Structure 1
Amino acid sequence: MKSHSSDGSGHKEWQGRLSAWFDGECSELDAAEVRAHLLDSPQSRAQLQEWRGLRDNLALLQPEEPSEILLERMRLRFEDGMAQEVFQVSRALRSWNVAAALLLTFGLGMWLSDRFLTSGPQNVYASQSSDLDAAIEELLNRPPADPASSH
Structure 2
Amino acid sequence: MSIKMMKKAMIGAAGAVALMGAVNAHAIDVQYPGTYTFEGQTTLSASFVTATCNLSLTGDVDSSGNVSVTTGSVSGASAVCGNIELQGFPWTGTADPSNYTLPLNGVEVEIYGGLVTCSGNITAGFSNGTPTDADPSFFALNNASFGICSVTGDLEVQGTDINIYP
TM score, norm. by length of structure 2: 0.23
Larger relative contact order (CA 8 Å, sep ≥ 6): 2
More helix by share: 1
| Larger CA Rg, structure 1 vs 2 | 1
TM-score if structure 1 supplies the norm length? 0.25
Which protein is richer in strand relative to its size?
2
